[in-house]
């Protein structure tokens, strides 16, 4: 379970996250929506332990910067950051050592095969295309079988096969009880499988819904997104 409790993050005077609170439960796929600059990547980086913030973030009840929390967390960033001088397979080895994984090789092979990287194992990070780097980053994030998974714009730049496989993998992790948070602009791409959503605007959570609530009210996700973000925009405009 992921708990974000009253998180505020400022970059200098700019408030990128303003008292943000939400939860993602085991077995739920939660999507984080919002226009450019709403604060989605910032909260994801706070959860991943990459930024200092005010408030509290718990991963399975452990403070996010603690070792047990880090063991349970998988983070797939918007921009893949590979080591230029490590091969694809060495990236897998690196993660396996960092997480003290045992019996990881078959799993690494399976992940690489599913994302069509099995013939790229000996290639250096610097010799991979942007999409291939993104695929390696996904394999690195998923190798330790995390219980809480953060994906920041995971489908951007992937080919159709990889998009299909990653979506399948996300649903498999959900079915195994992982709590999954996905930041995306591609509403269509997540329409089939999301369970809850938080819509951000100007650093705040402007609306929260479960799928059941939306289906019950007869709205669809896209309508809700525009209703919330366009209304918020005009309200902010009026206040100024
Ligand atoms: N390192 C930084 N230093 C200063 N300001 C930053 C930094 N990173 C983000 N910001 C600002 O914080 C705000 C939120 O940015 P963030 O990247 O979290 O938004 P986002 O919702 O992920 O946007 P997008 O959909 O464009 O990726 C923006 O105003 C952005 O300019």
- Give the pLDDT confidence of 189-212 residue by residue, as tens digits: 888 889 999 999 999 999 999 999
d(CA 73, CA 128): 26
* Complex ipTM more than 0.85, yes or no: yes
User: What is the average pLDDT across 113-124?
Assistant: 96
Residue 228 binned pLDDT confidence (cut-offs 50, 70, 90) = confident
40 lines ligand 1 (CB under 6 A): yes
d(CA 211, CA 217): 10
Whole-number Å distance, alpha carbon 18 to ligand 1 midpoint, is: 13
pLDDT digits (tens, 9 = 90+) for 134-143: 999 999 999 9
Whole-number Å distance, alpha carbon 228 to ligand 1 midpoint, is: 20
Domains and CATH numbers, the chain: 2-85+146-159+167-236 (3.40.50.300)
Q: What is the DSSP letter of 223?
A: H
Closest alpha carbon to 93 in 162, 146, 139:
139
Predicted pLDDT at 217: 86
d(CA 87, CA 104): 17
Predicted pLDDT at 237: 43
Whole-number Å distance, alpha carbon 89 to ligand 1 midpoint, is: 33
- Count of H helices and E strands in the chain? 9, 10
The answer to whether 193 touches 167, Cβ cutoff 8 Å, is yes
Using CA positions, which residue lies closest to atom 1 of ligand 1? 11
Residue 221 binned pLDDT confidence (cut-offs 50, 70, 90) = confident
Predicted pLDDT at 219: 83
Whole-number Å distance, alpha carbon 194 to ligand 1 midpoint, is: 24
pLDDT digits (tens, 9 = 90+) for 26-85: 999 999 999 999 999 999 999 999 999 999 999 999 999 999 999 999 999 988 989 999
Residue 233 binned pLDDT confidence (cut-offs 50, 70, 90) = low
E strands present in the chain: 2-11, 14-24, 29-33, 54-59, 62-63, 73-76, 148-152, 179-183, 196-201, 204-210
Predicted pLDDT at 232: 60
What is the rounded average pLDDT for all residues in the chain? 93
């Amino acid at each position: 379970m992921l708990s974000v409790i009253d998180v505020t993050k400022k970059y200098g005077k700019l408030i990128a996250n303003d008292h943000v609170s939400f939860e993602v439960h085991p077995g739920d796929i939660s999507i984080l929506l919002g226009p450019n600059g709403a604060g989605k990547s910032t909260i994801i980086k706070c959860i991943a332990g990459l930024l200092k913030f005010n408030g509290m973030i718990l991963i399975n009840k452990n403070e996010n910067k603690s070792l047990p929390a880090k063991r349970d967390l998988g983070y797939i960033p918007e921009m893949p950051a590979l080591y230029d001088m490590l091969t694809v397979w060495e990236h897998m080895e690196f993660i396996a050592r960092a997480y003290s994984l045992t019996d990881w090789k078959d799993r690494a092979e399976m992940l690489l095969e599913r994302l069509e990287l099995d013939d790229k194992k000996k290639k250096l990070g610097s010799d991979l295309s942007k999409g291939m780097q993104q695929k390696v980053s996904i394999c690195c994030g998923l190798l330790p079988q995390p219980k809480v998974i953060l994906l920041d714009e995971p489908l951007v730049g992937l080919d159709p096969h990889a998009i299909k496989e990653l979506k399948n993998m996300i649903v498999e992790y959900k079915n195994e009880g992982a709590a999954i948070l996905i930041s995306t602009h591609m509403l269509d791409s997540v329409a089939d499988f999301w369970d809850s959503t938080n819509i951000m605007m100007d650093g705040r959570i402007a609306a929260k819904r479960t799928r059941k609530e939306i289906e019950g009210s007869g709205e669809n996700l896209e309508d809700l997104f525009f209703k919330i973000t366009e209304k918020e925009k005009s309200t902010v405009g009026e206040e100024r």
